[in-house]
Amino acid sequence: MSNPYIELDKRILGEAYGSTEALETVTTLCDEYDSRWPGSGKDLESCEYMAEKLTEHGLEEVHLEKFTLPGWIRGGSSLEILEPKRKRID
């Protein structure tokens, strides 16, 4: 039995070893979308960039989905010095 995907496999491997596009894509993600922390703005921009790249490669129905991400939101902070003189810093 022959592999019906052998030509596709060869094409994928050829692209992987002979193209610099993957490296260029990763370089763009690291340089232009360097801080992709959730909620930072760069996170959504980087997702949009990758969706565009996938569409360019012929993938169909590429889309982003919203989801809830439980995380930490910075609250208030304070410091209380006890010695030599008691002082509170908010």
Specify whether the backbone of 41 is left (phi greater than 0), alpha (psi in -120 to 50) or beta: left
Cα 47 to chain center, whole Å?
A: 6
Give the global pTM.
Answer: 0.62
pLDDT score at 3: 87
Per-residue pLDDT tens over the stretch 50-68 = 999 999 989 999 999 998 8
Contact 34, 42 (CB under 8 A): yes
Count of CB atoms situated within 10 Å of the CB of 42: 16
Tell me the β-bridge partners of 89.
Answer: 79
Count of CB atoms situated within 10 Å of the CB of 46: 19
